[in-house]
Structure 1
Amino acid sequence: MKDKSLKPIKRRKTKTAHHAPIDPDVIFGLHAVQAALEVPVSRVKEIWLAAERQDNRVDNLLAAANEQGVVIHFSERETLDKIAPDVQHQGCVAKCRPLESLDEKGLFDLLDNLNEPPLLLILDGVQDPHNLGACLRTAEASGAHAVIAPKDRASGLTATAIKISSGSAERLPFAQVTNIARLMRELQQRGVWLIGTSGDSETSLYQTKLTGPMAIVLGAEGKGIRHLTRENCDEVVFIPMQGEAESLNVSVAAGVCLFEAFRQRSL
């Protein structure tokens, strides 16, 4: 017998939060803004600082901004929240000229002017800007000369990617190309050895020579490199792992591969 005193529970639909997109020409966070100020010709136009922030990091940022002749506004945090909504901006936001990526011609000009064998990172469709930013940071730290990604269905240099890169996006060339497979063939014609990564390969990364002109090719999150991309690789290797994990985050895989190349090149 049903208890009539119990009323049926009404299920309410949960509204999905829609965060306002950040202007791609806005960067945020003390480290990201400081890095943008420290290049020879800064792209920073204006900076907003939270009025209550007073510490050594802010003093260093102010000195760099004054040297570059950048306009500084001391504002309430609400103002910064409007410019860079829904992010941890640390009381520092800047509006900039666009951070330009290289095209195919710019990339080849870069390679032609290197005085050492090129080390490149090719990202085959990485869509998460956090992963792109982390890959840029890893690539710079390991001595890579450029990071390459497709223009379509992949993350570009968004405000989040720039923030996560911790300044590397300002210093390391980033190329966006129309056709990754065609670019890979053109790199091969220039003598660049293309090394893809896949868990089903039988060749270990640590059994592979990584000292000549080369590019490490990594795939998208959870999918790996595409079939056509793999076909254009000269060699495919796997990263030895223990435990139950089936794969690594793309930025972690980039670190393992690039620093093994760095180790071999340093010998």
Structure 2
Amino acid sequence: MEEKKMNSQQIEGRNAVMEAFRSGKPIDKVYILDGCQDGPIRSIVREAKKHDTILNFVTKERLNQISETGRHQGVIAQAAAYEYAQVEDMLELAKQKGEDPFLILLDNIEDPHNLGAIIRTANLAGAHGVIIPKHRAAGLTAIVAKTSAGALNYTPVAKVTNLVKTMEELKEKGLWFVCADMDGDVMYRVNLKGPIGLVIGNEGEGVGRLVKETCDMTAAIPMKGDIDSLNASVAAGVLAYEIVRQRMS
């Protein structure tokens, strides 16, 4: 399969950032010197808004801290290491394989190592794609790519503006959603067959309230130890393989 990899890089300087937008490179975030109002910066802000890119207005000290070159000219962009897919691509992939769609949705997963590990698990468990929200989420950085151990070449990842809206649209296409939650039903007693979206939150806060309310059911991993939560990527793996087991039985 053809690799989707792109140059993973931080882009610094006004011309370089503008050129990145014009060339269609996927940009996750742009950091801009707060209060800077000159023409080139205003053009970059317009371009970022047009592409629905996250804008962070920060102090000069913060820019200097982020900068790798020391020549940022008041603007730094962080490009995605890989291209994002569309949710439709994932449904098409399931259709081509003659399988019920199996998607993994992540809410509040901000650690790139966790994201990379979950993409790796998604690939091995046969999930057709991973969906992440635009805000409060790790993007497809070089660390994510490395931690995924090559899985990013094969498993599509989509970035959506609104997770709840995406879930509602997928429900209309026949998917139902199970949320990992400590207070849910024990996962072995939950029917996880059919077209499914597995929703995972971070180990601290879990899944956001609106996302949880949009889920059809909750599933808990039995815990026998003295601490109260698993790492998010481990939880994703345990639940993903319960879905695999039920699909095989």
Distance in 2 between residues matched to 1:42 and 1:137, nearest whole Å: 16
Q: Secondary structure at the match of 2:210?
A: helix
Does the 8 Å CA contact 2:118/2:233 hold for their aligned counterparts?
A: yes
Q: CA deviation at 1:152?
A: 1.5
Letter in 1 for 2:174: G
Q: Secondary structure at the match of 1:236?
A: strand
Distance in 2 between residues matched to 1:147 and 1:111, nearest whole Å: 13
Distance in 1 between residues matched to 2:203 and 2:234, nearest whole Å: 11
Q: Secondary structure at the match of 1:194?
A: strand
Q: CA deviation at 1:209?
A: 1.2
Which residue of 165, 190, 209 maps to 1:208? 190
What residue in structure 2 maps to residue 232 of structure 1?
Answer: 214
- The structure that has the greater radius of gyration is 1
Q: CA deviation at 1:221?
A: 3.7
Consecutive unaligned residues in structure 1, runs of 5 or more: 1-38, 46-84, 86-96
What residue in structure 2 maps to residue 191 of structure 1?
Answer: 174
Which residue of 40, 44, 66 maps to 2:2? 40
Aligned length: 179
Q: Identity over the aligned pairs, expressed in percent?
A: 42
Letter in 2 for 1:155: A
Asked whether 1:135 is paired with 2:118, we answer yes
Distance in 1 between residues matched to 2:165 and 2:91, nearest whole Å: 13
Task: Evaluate the alpha carbon distance shift between residue 43 and residue 254 of structure 1 in structure 2; reply closer, same or farther with a 3 A threshold.
Answer: closer
Asked whether 1:175 is paired with 2:143, we answer no
Letter in 2 for 1:117: D
Distance in 1 between residues matched to 2:131 and 2:139, nearest whole Å: 10
Q: CA deviation at 1:43?
A: 4.4
Distance in 2 between residues matched to 1:42 and 1:103, nearest whole Å: 14
Q: Secondary structure at the match of 2:183?
A: coil
Consecutive unaligned residues in structure 2, runs of 5 or more: 8-67, 69-79
Task: Evaluate the alpha carbon distance shift between residue 261 and residue 41 of structure 1 in structure 2; reply closer, same or farther with a 3 A threshold.
Answer: closer
Deviations 1:194-240 (A, max 9, x none): 00111122x11110111200011011241100000001000012111
Q: CA deviation at 1:103?
A: 3.2
Distance in 2 between residues matched to 1:237 and 1:246, nearest whole Å: 15
RMSD across aligned C-alpha pairs, in angstroms? 2.2
What residue in structure 2 maps to residue 165 of structure 1?
Answer: 148
Distance in 1 between residues matched to 2:113 and 2:97, nearest whole Å: 29
Asked whether 1:248 is paired with 2:230, we answer yes
Distance in 2 between residues matched to 1:254 and 1:41, nearest whole Å: 25
Distance in 2 between residues matched to 1:257 and 1:223, nearest whole Å: 18
Q: Secondary structure at the match of 1:216?
A: strand
Structure with the largest fraction of strand? 2
Distance in 2 between residues matched to 1:186 and 1:114, nearest whole Å: 22
Deviations 1:145-186 (A, max 9, x none): 101110122011100000000000111111111100000111
Letter in 1 for 2:239: C
Q: Secondary structure at the match of 1:140?
A: helix
Asked whether 1:100 is paired with 2:86, we answer no
